[in-house]
Amino acid sequence: MPAPPSASSPRASGRGPALSRRGAVVAVPLTLALAGCRWGPEADGAGEPVSGTTPPPPDADRVLVDQATALIGDTAALVAAAVAARPRLGQQLAAFATLHDAHLRHLAATPVTTSAGEARALAGVLKAERRLQEGLIDLAGRAGSGILARSLASMAAGVAQHVAVASEGTR
Amino acid sequence: MSTVDDLNTVLAGEHAAVYLFATLGGRTSASAEPTLAAGLRSAHSIHRARRDQLVRMVLDLDGSPEAVAVGYELPNASRTPTQIRRGALQVESRCTALYSDLVARTQGADRSWAMRALVDSAVRQLGFGGLPSDLPGT
């Protein structure tokens, strides 16, 4: 999952002013939200086979990042639960929430998503989608019905749009 | 409707697109909005080429090419970059729809050409803030 726009410049923990109670209330849900978006069954690089080939193995560093994210997320959830149960601890534990938040942001911004494995998988998908686009164009050209031709050509145009958007991230 | 009429319908749209992209380009600062300006220049160039191609196609069928109008109405005020981008998207979207119709009404080489134009126009929408859709032009 790509880093959120606000995650591009993680704030170093412990250098800023201590969070107010209100700040802690804001920071904890953010930490949970960030932690939550890293959890789940997503197996990076282990998607569907591309063009009948064996899917590339998950990138080792990506697995480590996911593990670190889950570890931090678990601890952040513990901190959040403690603050929720004992609100007066909020100010005292705010630094931990800020720390975990900063670490999660840093991990999210760590450029491990451009691994060779992912690039190959993406290239394979884009190649297959372009083949689909050309295949639809070819079928549209042979269609006896103008309505069918328009539908198939429009489908090809839709594929082309999505390929163009997905290709933007590879440049 | 004959093929000449179908081609002339799209030609009328391309006349408008050429005029409107030129106008929108003239209202865009290349230094302040280089990406938008480049997109408008590219769009103007490709639509001018398509217009010329359509004129040739109509003439090849012994038809009379649709004449250019005196002027065309901008889709919005087109005073700010945001308005210009939105206006350009509207113009391009209309062209996408025209080529989609042309695909349905043609066969052979004309249909192939219309399909390429449809795909190009659909992708060009993205440069003006358009979002991918399932069935562009329909």
What whole-number distance in Å separates Cα of residue A139 and Cα of residue A132?
10
pLDDT in tens, B14-51: 999 999 999 999 999 999 999 999 999 999 999 999 99
ipTM: 0.94
Least confident of A7-21, A110-124, A134-148: A7-21
Looking at the structure, tell me whether residues A95 and A124 fall in a common domain: no
Q: Are A24 and A122 in contact (CB under 8 A)?
A: no
Q: Is the Cβ pair A160, B138 closer than 8 Å? A: no
Looking at the structure, tell me whether residues A21 and A70 fall in a common domain: yes
Least confident of A105-119, A148-162, B122-136: A105-119
Could you tell me if A150 lies within 8 Å of chain B, comparing CB atoms?
Answer: yes
Q: Are B123 and A154 in contact (CB under 8 A)?
A: no
How far is residue A17 CA from its own chain's centroid? 30
Could you tell me if A165 lies within 8 Å of chain B, comparing CB atoms?
Answer: yes
The residue assigned the tokens 């700010």 is B80
Contacts of B132-135 with C-beta under 8 Å, sequence gap 24+, read B132/A158, B132/A161, B132/A162, B132/A164, B132/A165, B133/A158, B133/A161, B134/A155, B134/A158, B135/A151, B135/A154, B135/A155, B135/A157, B135/A158
Partner A, chain B 114-133, Cβ-Cβ below 8 Å = 114-115, 118-119, 121-123, 125-126, 130, 132-133
Q: How confident is the model at residue A42 (pLDDT cuts 50, 70, 90)?
A: very low
Per-residue pLDDT, averaged over A141-154, amounts to 96
Per-range mean pLDDT, top range of A33-37, A69-73, A128-132: A128-132
Task: Please state the domain count of chain A.
Answer: 2
Least confident of A3-12, A89-98, B62-71: A3-12
pLDDT of amino acid A17 = 37
DSSP for B68-120, please give it.
PPS----SS---SHHHHHHHHHHHHHHHHHHHHHHHHH--HHHHHHHHHHHHH
- Return the domain boundaries, chain B: 3-127
Q: Is the Cβ pair B132, A147 closer than 8 Å? A: no
Q: Is A14 left (phi over 0), alpha (psi -120 to 50) or beta?
A: left
Nearest CA in chain B to A151: B135
Q: How confident is the model at residue B106 (pLDDT cuts 50, 70, 90)?
A: very high
What whole-number distance in Å separates Cα of residue B88 and Cα of residue B103?
23
Asked whether residue A46 carries a pLDDT value surpassing 90, the answer given is: no
Looking at chain B, the whole-number percentage of residues with pLDDT higher than 90 is 98
Looking at the structure, tell me whether residues A90 and A19 fall in a common domain: yes
pLDDT of amino acid A114 = 61
Q: Is the Cβ pair A140, B103 closer than 8 Å? A: yes
The CATH code of the domain at B3-127 is 1.20.1260.10
Looking at the structure, tell me whether residues A13 and A89 fall in a common domain: yes
Could you tell me if B35 lies within 8 Å of chain A, comparing CB atoms?
Answer: no
**Average per-residue pLDDT in chain A?**
72
